[in-house]
Structure 1
Amino acid sequence: MTVLVTGGAGYIGSHMVWALHDAGEAVVVIDNLSTGFDWALPGDVPLVRGDIGDEALVARVLSEHGVDAVIHFAGSIIVPESVANPLKYYKNNTANSRSLIAACAAKGVDKFIFSSTAAVYGDPEIIPVPEDAPLKPVSPYGTSKLMTEMMLADVAAAHDFRYTALRYFNVAGADPRGRTGQSTAGATHLIKVAAEAALGKRAHLSVYGTDYPTEDGTAIRDYIHVADLVGAHALALERLRQGGDSAVMNCGYGHGYSVFEVIEAVRKVSGRPFETRMEARRPGDSVRIVADASRLRAELGWQPRHDDLTEIVTHALAWEEKLAKRNS
């Protein structure tokens, strides 16, 4: 049995590949390396450079490697960019996912884990937000992911095919063992950007919106350590292998931090001041998104091990320092 990881050379994907590799799983990766890096992978994991929208390529990989399960990370993830360039997101996230799912259905690959997002909720009225909350995305990014969820549900109803859609909240941190991390230039993740600013890689950090209806005026997010997120995927895979039915689950800790709280944590851990600049709100950003992850805990037995903002920031900073040495 082999697991195909799409986007496996990227941020979350590379952590997933390392976790599977550590567990002795056979793994193959498809990645076009537009935002990923081949050096982020274990040296003995096959990397097929290509696009998941290429059904013939995907079908060949599924057959040649005896793939029985897919963990799908490949796609575009920047909310403001999706507002400015929606067609890119409907191609990379929706159309290409359709091609990947079609190849799986044709080859009889019946276990599929999808990297979805809390952006499908838009501005939720209930906090923490449960999976059955109204789905009202406020960006093409969120809509493109929701459309893929809808396709998965329809395919599962029509074929011998089961899936788990994991709705991520804000993923942060890096591999505690320092093997991989968020390495993409120009990334927009707050903790990544703040770590870069603390290390002098950026001249300043922009705070987008200080007039939100929150305690300090900045947006609030539920930050989940990438290692805990990957652990949820491993449990979801095991559940599908044991015959579990299709499911949708939130991935978060159930509490949030404001932008200013994150900035203060990075300053404290790094011991370095850095400039912040107040900017207008960005289109597509929500006020407050915090997960109700009780389904994940109950159905998968998920127990996070890194639910600590200081630890998340520490790992992110350590990776930035290692990345700076690598790129010097």
Structure 2
Amino acid sequence: MAVLVTGGAGYIGSHTVAELIDAKEEVVVVDNLSQGHRQALLGGKLYVGDIRDADFMETVFKENDIESVIHFAAYSLVGESMQNPAKYYDNNVYGTQRLLEIMKKYGTKRIVFSSTAATYGEPQTVPIEETAPTQPTNTYGETKLSMEKMMKWFDAAHGIKYVALRYFNAAGAHHSGRIGEDHSPETHLVPLILQVPLGKREHVSIFGDDYPTEDGTCIRDYLHVSDLADAHLLALERLRSGGESSVYNLGSGKGFSVKEMIDVARKVTGHPIPAVLEPRRAGDPAVLIASSAKAKRELNWSPRRDNLEEIVESAWNWHRQHPDGFTE
């Protein structure tokens, strides 16, 4: 009996695969390698292909006894999603439809979904709870919400139980030092900051310092990527034990400002890391923090690696060893 991880060669997917391997699970990975990397996999059986390809997915399910799915495969660049919404609907929403259809055909009744707190849009209250209105402000968040809703109706019609995990920012790297964050293009704050001491860029940009926060810069929720991986395994165990479909927010319960993140990186790297102030970006809320009270209560999950300096240090250790990212 195997766990299928779609998008398992990506950043959070590969860390989840590593945790599954440590838990002695049989792991099958499907990834088209458009964003993922072969080197990011510490185990499992890799099938290179696209979840939208029915014949390909048929092969995966025929050759393996898939008892559960953890679904990461999706495009996730907010800006790109606004410029090319069709690409996001085709890959994210249609891809999920094809995945659920093959699960139905082969009787696979459990799926853990890597969703996003972008489903909430501009929050009315912070920290954000699962009962908050879902009003995405970009195509990416809208497609993820559509994927969640599709799972709800597949559950109602076919009994495929799901857990959707909504979170903001993953950071850090695996304790082994073998896998870390490598995106192209890179849009995440921690690796962008670390590109300065790596000599990849001259400075880091701060987009606005006049927000209603203590230091004027945006505050965001950061979680160590391995804590996120742990949450996916706990969600899978909940479904295996007969738990009902549900949605959970994952957060640290506290946020860090852009300036705080840069200061911590300066301390960790010993580099001055010049910062340049630039105009605000449209649609950037001042504060985004998720409440994970429900996840703590029902999944018994809480972040174990919540020291910001340790998170940044783990990322720095990986980037120093892999200054150009993965080679394949």
Quote the residue 1:98 is aligned against. 97
Quote the residue 2:284 is aligned against. 285
Q: How does 1:26-105 map to 2 (within 5 A)?
A: 26-42=26-42, 44-105=43-104
Shift, 1:277, TM fit: 2.1
Secondary structure, aligned partner of 2:94? helix
Secondary structure, aligned partner of 1:63? helix
Shift, 1:206, TM fit: 1.7
Alignment partners' CA distance in 2, 1:63 and 1:70: 15
Quote the residue 1:123 is aligned against. 122
Q: Is the 8 A contact 1:120 1:137 kept in 2?
A: yes
CA change 1:192–1:276 in 2 (3 A) is same
Give the letter for the 1:220 counterpart: I
Alignment partners' CA distance in 2, 1:96 and 1:21: 26
Quote the residue 1:276 is aligned against. 275
Q: Deviations over 1:246-293 (max 9, x none)?
A: 010001111101111111111111110122222223344332110110
Q: Deviations over 1:119-149 (max 9, x none)?
A: 0111111111100101111111111100101
Q: Is the 8 A contact 1:83 1:283 kept in 2?
A: no
Alignment partners' CA distance in 1, 2:280 and 2:82: 13
Quote the residue 2:109 is aligned against. 110
Shift, 1:23, TM fit: 1.1
Question: Would you say 1:4 and 2:4 are equivalent positions?
Answer: yes
Runs (4 or more) in structure 1 with deviation over 6 Å come to: 325-328
Alignment partners' CA distance in 1, 2:282 and 2:58: 38
Shift, 1:98, TM fit: 1.5
* Aligned sequence identity (%): 49
Question: Would you say 1:251 and 2:234 are equivalent positions?
Answer: no
Q: How does 1:184-263 map to 2 (within 5 A)?
A: 184-263=183-262
Q: Deviations over 1:301-326 (max 9, x none)?
A: 11321011101100010110111277
Q: Is the 8 A contact 1:224 1:252 kept in 2?
A: yes
Quote the residue 1:132 is aligned against. 131
Q: TM-score with structure 1 length normalisation?
A: 0.96
Secondary structure, aligned partner of 2:209? coil
Quote the residue 2:147 is aligned against. 148
Secondary structure, aligned partner of 1:186? coil
Alignment partners' CA distance in 2, 1:259 and 1:320: 20
Shift, 1:327, TM fit: 6.5
CA change 1:286–1:87 in 2 (3 A) is farther
Q: How does 1:300-319 map to 2 (within 5 A)?
A: 300-319=299-318
> Please, which moves more after superposition, 299-308 or 6-15?
299-308
Q: Is the 8 A contact 1:33 1:49 kept in 2?
A: yes
Give the letter for the 1:28 counterpart: V
RMSD over aligned Cα, in angstroms? 1.5
Q: Deviations over 1:159-212 (max 9, x none)?
A: 121000000121111102212110223211101111122221222212223232
Alignment partners' CA distance in 2, 1:278 and 1:261: 15
Give the letter for the 1:225 counterpart: H
Q: Deviations over 1:57-94 (max 9, x none)?
A: 22321221111100011111121222222222222221
Alignment partners' CA distance in 2, 1:59 and 1:146: 26
Alignment partners' CA distance in 2, 1:284 and 1:3: 37
CA change 1:151–1:272 in 2 (3 A) is same
Give the letter for the 1:259 counterpart: V
Structure 1 residues without counterparts, runs of 5 or longer? none
Q: Is the 8 A contact 1:94 1:148 kept in 2?
A: yes
Q: Deviations over 1:18-59 (max 9, x none)?
A: 1111111100111111111101112x5211111111122223
Alignment partners' CA distance in 2, 1:309 and 1:296: 21
Q: TM-score with structure 2 length normalisation?
A: 0.96
Alignment partners' CA distance in 2, 1:251 and 1:302: 9
Give the letter for the 2:33 counterpart: L
